[in-house]
């Protein structure tokens, strides 16, 4: 049945209200089932349905009274404030959809029944549905599009108004061609199963080919944007073949097994012996221009450029980059010393398969000659302060390795938040949205030291370009491990953007306003584990949080997993909700971390700030040394369970000694594959010593 006029819509609504039997909405409506294994808690539409179901005699009210009651709830505090603000002017549209669901109607069917309505009116109904169920928004758009009963132009307009249009287009352009995808790196591999449902569970185990011993992996996570189950396997060996077995459990059905094999990447690329260049033979001073030199390799034989300390690349005064790669690909840079670059030290655009080993980079960025309102300009003619100048400015470039590199001493410098959002240089600009889907993401940063100084702070040590978009930052399948990052006036590291199987582990971070930003996470899952974060603070000594999260409803919808991190000497917060488009909501799994706070202020000194409740927090040791107890805003699902096994002054001693890691009793809360426990039930928190929970 299709509803053609306003009057008939109200008649249809009245018929719904008079039905004698109210069905529970969760069992029938469109794909919004909460699966506890995935930790996905109630969305705004579910919260609203729960409120209505809890009201006595609600179904005896007249239609206008029911609409008024829904309006009262939207102006109250029961529904997420971000979404409520969007829905308050649209009570009629909300009432039609919610009351229809209370009668057991499917959300997509309710919308299809309106398909012949005025297009502007229909756009509003779709917008409301997307706000009520933001985590399911992209799947709802796809379902309506595939139905061929709904105007595509209306869907596009509703997506645009809710700022989902570009993300939706990205999903359509990168649609999977197979039911399962495995993307190996060196020490890890992501596994994604498409066309799944949120009430399914996927157990993982793996082993080297030929081995008889299976290892248990972490369950795949629900990824609502594409309707997938996705996750990573870590601590693998390079250049090794593995088999993986996934066991799928579906309610009411027999378990299903899926087996696949894959090989991890080798620790060095194949080199074409005819394309090995010594820098002293090809460099004449100024910019090293690979387009002019026609240097690039192929998949079977990379080009290799070998430098030496005696032959540094020193950019000329007018050179915007010291090394210009363009879109040349399959190139290994080894032991290159780079000085300068008016904007960037090393730049590329739409390149892929680049490898940097043992490089030293300094002196890049625009000189801070002019100071206006606390921000830095190169000249008085500049309309905007200097920003985005990067040691590695690899734009729209994927499949990159940067290892054993030293990035330091930028010429440019960033302002602090005292003078507005920090603007200034970065060590690495993450911009991995290559035009070819096969080359997107796949960035590996390992064994590096990237840092500014007290006098020349970076904006972010690692900054994500287009990081409020699904294709922003590292995009997908990247690993950042065994690095030292320091001295930023904003975030030390930004993982923001798509975050599809982004791994951040065994890194040391200090001296920044925030430690790790993962706001927003638009695909996920991302994994942040076994890092040590200490002495946060910008140039003023101010800081916000070790982990900055938010934007779940405004930019849906990925999960951030935070395991076994050691956060010391904190005058700010541990996991902190932050504002993204007025949305402080985030979806996380936080377990087996240590948060030691020293501050005791109104909005500082909390181990956790999560007032919305989509986070899952279990077995974290949280101590505020001033309060002598944990300080938390939000709900802790499982408090730390092993206090009696710790010395009385354990937290105080840990904070004084500042170790890179400690062994924390975790018992059955150990994280399979990522951070396992010893036979004594202890797991490493912080950066493990070599051979301790590492490959």
Give CA–CA dist 192/172, Å, rounded.
17
**CB burial class (10 A; 0-12, 13-18, 19+) of residue 22?**
middle
CA 550, 554, 557 angle in degrees (round to 5)?
70
User: What are residue 112's phi and psi, to 5 degrees?
Assistant: -60, -35
**What whole-number distance in Å separates Cα of residue 167 and Cα of residue 137?**
11
Rounded to the nearest integer, the mean pLDDT of the chain is 91
Q: For residue 8, name the pLDDT band (cuts at 50, 70, 90).
A: very low
- Cα separation of 383 and 385, whole Å? 7
3-state helix, strand, coil in the chain (%, to 5): 20, 30, 45
Whole-prediction pTM value? 0.91
10 Å Cβ neighbour count for 134? 28
CA geometry: angle at 190 spanning 189 and 193, to 5°?
Answer: 140
Asked whether residue 20 carries a pLDDT value surpassing 70, the answer given is: no
What's the pLDDT tens digit per position in 588-599? Answer: 999 999 999 988
What CA–CA distances, in Å, run from 483 to 10, 333, 388, 687? 62, 19, 21, 10
- Which range (21-35, 438-452, 462-476, 672-686) has the least confidence? 21-35
Query: Cα(86)–Cα(474) distance, rounded to whole angstroms?
Result: 31
What's the mean pLDDT in 176-187? 95
Q: Which residues contact 390 (CB under 8 A, 6 or more apart)?
A: 344, 345, 364, 365, 425, 426, 427, 428, 429, 463
Distance CA 239, CA 135 (A): 38
CA nearest to 507, candidates 493, 518, 521: 493
Q: What local confidence, expressed as pLDDT, does residue 571 receive?
A: 81
Which pLDDT tens digit goes with each residue over 341-399? 999 999 999 999 999 999 999 999 999 999 999 999 999 999 999 999 999 999 999 99
Residue with tokens 């629900």: 222
Cα distances (Å, whole numbers) of residue 87 to 17, 42, 73, 90, 520 = 21, 17, 11, 5, 22
Q: Is it the case that residue 77 has pLDDT exceeding 80?
A: no
Model confidence at 109: pLDDT above 70: yes
- In the predicted model, what is the mean pLDDT of residues 525-536? 98
Q: What is the mean pLDDT of residues 34-56?
A: 74
Task: Say if residues 306 and 279 touch (Cβ distance below 8 Å).
Answer: yes
Q: State residue 357 phi and psi, 5-degree precision.
A: -130, 120
Contact 607, 575 (CB under 8 A): yes
**What is the predicted pLDDT for the residue at 13?**
42
Q: Which CATH number fits domain 181-263: 3.20.20.70, 2.60.40.10, 3.40.1010.10, 3.40.50.460?
A: 2.60.40.10
How many other β-carbons are positioned within 10 Å of the β-carbon of residue 660?
14
8 A C-beta contact, residue 101 and residue 95: no
Which pLDDT does position 603 carry in this prediction? 85
Distance CA 153, CA 155 (A): 5
Nearest to 10 by CA among 158, 114, 129, 155: 114
- Positive or negative torsion for Cα 287, 293, 296, 302: negative
Query: What's the pLDDT tens digit per position in 226-263?
Result: 999 999 999 999 999 999 999 999 998 999 999 999 99
DSSP code string of 159-199: HHHTT-HHHHHHHHHT--SSSEEEEE-SS-EEEEE-S--TT
On the question of pLDDT at 308 being above 60, the answer is yes
């Amino acid at each position: 049945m299709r509803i053609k006029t306003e009057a008939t819509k109200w008649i249809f609504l009245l018929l719904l209200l008079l039905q004698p039997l109210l069905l529970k909405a969760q069992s029938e409506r469109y794909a919004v089932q909460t699966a506890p294994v995935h930790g996905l808690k109630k969305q705004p539409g579910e919260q609203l349905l729960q409120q209505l179901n809890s009201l006595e005699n609600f179904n005896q009210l007249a239609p206008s009274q029911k609409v008024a009651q829904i309006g009262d709830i939207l102006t109250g505090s029961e529904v997420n404030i971000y979404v409520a603000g969007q829905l308050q002017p649209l009570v009629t549209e909300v009432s039609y959809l919610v009351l229809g669901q209370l009668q057991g109607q499917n959300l997509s069917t309710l919308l299809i029944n309106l398909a012949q309505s005025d297009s502007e009116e229909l756009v509003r109904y779709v917008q409301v549905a997307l706000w009520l169920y933001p985590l399911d928004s992209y799947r709802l758009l796809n379902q309506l599009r595939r139905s061929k009963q709904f105007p595509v132009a209306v869907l596009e307009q509703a997506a645009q108004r809710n700022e989902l249009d570009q993300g939706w287009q990205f999903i359509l352009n990168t649609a999977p061609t197979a039911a399962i995808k495995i993307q190996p790196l060196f020490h890890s591999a992501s596994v994604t199963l498409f066309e799944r449902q949120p009430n399914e569970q996927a157990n993982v185990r793996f082993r080297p080919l030929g081995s008889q011993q299976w290892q248990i992996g972490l369950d795949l996570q629900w990824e609502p944007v594409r309707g997938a189950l996705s996750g990573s396997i870590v601590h693998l060996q390079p250049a090794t073949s593995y088999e993986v077995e996934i066991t799928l459990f579906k309610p009411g059905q027999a378990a299903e097994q899926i087996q696949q094999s894959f090989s991890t990447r080798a620790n060095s690329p194949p080199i074409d012996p005819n394309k090995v260049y010594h820098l002293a033979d090809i460099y004449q001073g100024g910019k090293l221009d690979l387009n002019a030199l026609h240097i690039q390799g192929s998949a079977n034989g990379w080009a290799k450029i070998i430098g030496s300390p005696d032959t540094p690349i020193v950019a000329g005064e007018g050179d915007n980059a010291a090394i210009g790669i363009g879109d040349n690909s399959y190139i290994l840079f080894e032991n290159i010393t780079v000085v300068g670059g008016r904007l960037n030290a090393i730049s590329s655009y739409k390149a892929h398969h680049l490898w940097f080993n043992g490089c030293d980079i300094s002196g890049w960025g625009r000189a801070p000659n002019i100071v206006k309102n606390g921000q830095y300009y190169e000249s008085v003619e500049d309309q905007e302060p200097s920003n985005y100048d990067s040691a590695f400015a690899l734009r729209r470039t994927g499949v990159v390795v940067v290892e054993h590199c030293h990035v330091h001493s930028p010429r440019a410098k960033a302002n602090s938040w005292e003078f507005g959002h920090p603007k200034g240089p970065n060590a690495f600009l993450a911009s991995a949205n290559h035009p070819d889907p096969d080359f997107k993401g796949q960035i590996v940063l390992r064994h590096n030291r990237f840092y500014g100084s007290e006098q020349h702070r970076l904006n972010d040590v690692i900054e994500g370009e287009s990081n409020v978009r699904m294709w922003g930052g590292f995009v997908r399948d990247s690993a950042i491990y065994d690095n030292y990052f320091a001295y930023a006036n904003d975030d030390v590291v930004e993982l923001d953007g798509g975050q599809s199987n982004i791994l951040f582990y065994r890194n040391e971070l200090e001296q920044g306003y925030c430690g790790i930003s993962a706001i927003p996470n638009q695909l996920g899952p991302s994994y942040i584990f076994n890092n040590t974060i200490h002495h946060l603070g910008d140039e003023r000594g101010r800081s916000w949080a070790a982990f900055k999260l938010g934007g779940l409803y405004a930019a849906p919808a990925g999960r951030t997993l935070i395991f076994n991190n050691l956060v010391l000497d904190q005058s700010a917060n541990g996991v902190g909700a932050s504002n993204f488009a007025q949305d402080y909501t985030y979806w996380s799994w936080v377990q087996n971390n240590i948060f030691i706070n020293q501050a005791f202020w109104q909005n500082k000194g909390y181990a956790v700030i999560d007032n919305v409740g989509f986070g899952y927090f279990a077995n974290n040791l949280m101590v505020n040394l001033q309060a002598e107890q944990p300080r938390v805003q939000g709900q802790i699902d499982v408090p730390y369970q092993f206090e009696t096994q710790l010395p009385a002054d354990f937290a105080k001693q840990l904070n004084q000694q500042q170790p890179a890691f400690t062994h924390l009793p975790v018992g059955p809360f150990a994280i399979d594959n990522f951070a396992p426990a010893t036979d004594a039930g202890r797991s490493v928190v912080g950066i493990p010593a070599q051979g301790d929970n590492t490959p």
